[in-house]
Amino acid sequence: MEFKNLKEIIVAIESKELSPREIVNYYLNRISEHNNKFNAFITVIEEEALKKAEKAEREILNGQYKGPLHGIPYAAKDIINTSGVQTTNGSKLYKDHIPKNDAFCIAKLNESGAILLGKTNTHQYAAASTTINVHYGTSKNPHNPLKIVGGSSGGSAAAVAGKLVPISLGTDTGGSIRTPSSLCGIVGLKPTHGAISLNGVFPNSPSIDHVGPMCESVYSTALTYYALECYDPNDVRSIKHNKIDLSQLEDSIKGFKIAICPDIYQNQELDREVEKSYETAIALLKDLGTTISSFKFEERDVDTIQDLFYGIAGPEFTKVHNKQYLNDPESFDPDVRKRMEWSVKVSIDDYLTALDNKIKMTRLLEGKLNNFDALITPAVPFTAPLINDLVAKINQKHFDYSANLHRQFFGPFNVTGLPAIVIPIGKDSSNMPISMQIVGKKWNESKILQIAHNIEANIMYNNNVSF
């Protein structure tokens, strides 16, 4: 039994052609057979998942179908609390941590009838972008296990790209959904800040943290986001808003106005293969009836918006971890310790200035987008580097991947809270995925999902992986 996509599975369950138990067994068998290659999962909860699948089967047979996610397996990044299930936060210090309650996002997916299969690997404390984890091992890219998955939601990306699960939850503070989704060739959505509750999610930088879905298609991303978005009165960051309109997902985008703005990433060179795929996607959007125009940033504004991540993320990360850092700095993985070292150097004055600039830059960017339906950018400016050297190759030049060369493309939309989705648009000469990013106005996830779906339907991207 093999499935082309999640839509096929949903139709089979709703029509009672296949049962949730058969679907869950299928994915559990795939995890058992292939997880050792990718190290996507830290914890698999087979027995509990099968019990829930049997319950879902009874409900559907009795006419209690809850909707398209009923009986659908999913995974969750291991910084998201799961009741009665180990939640490690990517650290041995939390190896015995068993939360009493589900995170809000887990509860919402469970309410929809989705079935949790396990917890996925992450960088320690979700603090960097490789998912090379001293405690739980390195997650590997299903397209080439010698290459990184990105991070920090790397296990979630590997699980979806390796077809171990069709849906996974990730978190994104400076690109942690979009980087691994891009490098692994899947769809990843960072929604509007405040759309999905952060209750029960281990904090990184709370004012710019996001939870979002990582999926095999735009269709499954839209369904999952619809189930997740909800006001949570117990989360001070949660904002009341109207749910997305799923009915327009497959509608034409003819007449849409799409913006480009190379100024945002003006200091970052693109690999020519990435640039070529991006240009092909732009040409496709024109063929689909959209108009493409550019807007500009003043150089000083670009510098300001790019510096915001460090000014905000530094002090907030310090607040979360400073006690542990002072008592036991060696408990941090080497690259996470480096993050602490620069985080503690950001002064309170710098932080307050950054918060003011965050408001200014959000207003500026929203003003620039006012006359457009979306902004498009490249995603990661190179394809996945090798695990053993972390050398990012751009036009035959070598760069240190850990220098966060992707952050210029992602960070501005964390600090401004605008929704952004990445989708695969091609592959390089070594068969590694290339992606692009679509950014929308706040609360306009419907439109960027619609644009993404139109691109996906026409780009003919092949995400097959070889085992």
Looking at the domain assignment, is residue 465 inside a domain?
no
* Class of residue 197 by CB neighbours under 10 A (exposed 0-12, middle 13-18, buried 19+): buried
Closest C-alpha to 193, from 414, 449, 437: 414
The whole-number pLDDT of residue 2 equals 74
Give the mean pLDDT of the chain: 96
Q: How many residues does the chain have?
A: 467
* Residues 348, 200: Cα–Cα separation, whole Å: 27
Task: Convert the pLDDT of each residue in 68-105 to its tens digit.
Answer: 999 999 999 999 999 999 999 999 999 999 999 999 99
Looking at the domain assignment, is residue 436 inside a domain?
yes
Distances (CA, A) of 64 to 73, 108, 367, 452: 18, 17, 46, 32
pTM comes to 0.97
Distances (CA, A) of 239 to 323, 357, 360: 31, 21, 20
* Residues 375, 368: Cα–Cα separation, whole Å: 10
Task: Convert the pLDDT of each residue in 342-354 to its tens digit.
Answer: 999 999 999 999 9
Closest C-alpha to 241, from 190, 191, 193, 195: 195
Looking at the domain assignment, is residue 174 inside a domain?
yes
**Structural domain harbouring 455:** 6-303+342-459
For the segment 21-31, the average pLDDT, to the nearest whole number, is 97
Looking at the domain assignment, is residue 319 inside a domain?
no
The whole-number pLDDT of residue 35 equals 98
Percentage of the chain exceeding pLDDT 90: 93
How does residue 463 score in pLDDT terms, banded at 50, 70 and 90?
Answer: confident
The whole-number pLDDT of residue 166 equals 97
How does residue 218 score in pLDDT terms, banded at 50, 70 and 90?
Answer: very high
Whether residue 467 is predicted with pLDDT greater than 60 in this model: the reply is no
For the segment 8-33, the average pLDDT, to the nearest whole number, is 97
- Assign 81 to helix, strand or coil: coil
Q: What is the number of domains present in the chain?
A: 1
Looking at the domain assignment, is residue 316 inside a domain?
no
Beta bridge partners of 400: 391
Looking at the domain assignment, is residue 330 inside a domain?
no
Looking at the domain assignment, is residue 337 inside a domain?
no
Looking at the domain assignment, is residue 312 inside a domain?
no
Catalytic residue set: 77, 152, 176
Task: Convert the pLDDT of each residue in 362-411 to its tens digit.
Answer: 999 999 999 999 999 999 999 999 999 999 999 999 999 998 888 999 99
How does residue 466 score in pLDDT terms, banded at 50, 70 and 90?
Answer: low
How does residue 267 score in pLDDT terms, banded at 50, 70 and 90?
Answer: confident
Residue 438, φ and ψ in degrees, nearest 5: -120, 125
Residue 289, domain CATH: 3.90.1300.10
* Residues 72, 75: Cα–Cα separation, whole Å: 10
Closest C-alpha to 173, from 193, 144, 156: 193
